[in-house]
Amino acid sequence: MTKDNELKHIAIIMDGNGRWATRRGLPRSLGHKKGAEVVKNITRAAAEQGIQYLTLYAFSTENWQRSPEEVSYLMTLLREYLKSDLTELRDNQVRIRFIGERYMLAEDIQQMMCDLEEETADFTKMTLCIALSYGSRQEIISAVKKIAQSVKSGDIPLEDIDINLFSDMLYTKGMPDPDLLIRTSGEKRISNYLLWQLAYSEFEFTDVLWPDFTPEHLHQIIENFKTRERRYGKV
């Protein structure tokens, strides 16, 4: 594997929980529960394969438009995940980060997120970044506002604005851009996810629904990635 296709950061759109349940005549909530179990397996598998960053699209800003019952269940599932997974994260030396519009989440969830980030801050094997209440357009607008305010106050000269400065204003500051985006369930769009960060990422769309996605699927996609030639606009 050459330096150009070194795989440090994988981003995943975990899609298909509802369809997985519906096809089995089950409530959508059971699809989400199964999907949460897969998160643990894939996080563990990614760490074992040497991935340094794994960013998962767990809940978008648009997902707030779903039925109150489904949103309520997803928040309950999130609370369970945040309460139960610290031991495994500690055992595997996985650091956790959250990106998104935190203010839209309940205060107890925000506090649990902060606690997890603090308690895993020194772990170095892998960073698990979870996008919660996240929308990339909102993230970009927020960055633009911060830069505009800094220019207005004189803290940033206009001529200093460049790609690196803009990247540092995003929620993903300090993280490399994803090398690879995976979306499950057969959909072929990125749904307001990491629009800036995915500029030169490789994409992999699989028909496998997220609850059926296994470490073996991940391994095969990683092997396929190694065969790709990434030129970044060069010949």
Give the pLDDT mean for 145-160: 96
Residue 140 inside a domain? The answer is no
Check residue 175 and give its pLDDT: 97
Provide the pLDDT confidence category of residue 2 given band limits of 50, 70 and 90. very low
Greatest Cα-to-Cα distance within the chain, rounded to the nearest angstrom: 60
Residue 89 inside a domain? The answer is yes
Check residue 86 and give its pLDDT: 65
For residue 32 the two structure tokens come to 């989400």
Check residue 81 and give its pLDDT: 85
Residue 183 inside a domain? The answer is yes
Q: How are beta strands 9-13 and 180-183 bridged, if at all?
A: parallel
Check residue 235 and give its pLDDT: 58
Residue 163 inside a domain? The answer is no
Give the pLDDT mean for 172-188: 97
Provide the pLDDT confidence category of residue 229 given band limits of 50, 70 and 90. confident
**203-220 pLDDT, tens digit each:** 999 999 999 999 999 999
Domain containing 89 equals: 3-135+176-226
Give the pLDDT mean for 111-117: 93
Instruction: Order the strands of the 53-60 sheet from edge to edge.
Output: 94-99, 126-134, 53-60, 9-13, 180-183, 202-205
Residue 1, pLDDT > 60, answer no
Check residue 92 and give its pLDDT: 84
Residue 209 inside a domain? The answer is yes
**18-52 pLDDT, tens digit each:** 999 999 999 999 999 999 999 999 999 999 999 99
Domain count within the chain: 1
Query: Residue 98 sits in a domain of what CATH number?
Result: 3.40.1180.10
Residue 13 inside a domain? The answer is yes
Burial (CB < 10 A; 0-12, 13-18, 19+), residue 119, is: middle
Provide the pLDDT confidence category of residue 180 given band limits of 50, 70 and 90. very high
Residue 164 inside a domain? The answer is no
Residue 152 inside a domain? The answer is no
Please give the positions annotated as active site: 15, 63
For residue 118 the two structure tokens come to 């603090």
Higher pLDDT, 90 or 110: 110
- What residue type is 35 in one-letter code? G
**79-103 pLDDT, tens digit each:** 988 888 667 777 888 999 999 999 9
Check residue 169 and give its pLDDT: 97
**Is residue 71 within 8 Å of residue 133, measured between CB atoms?**
no
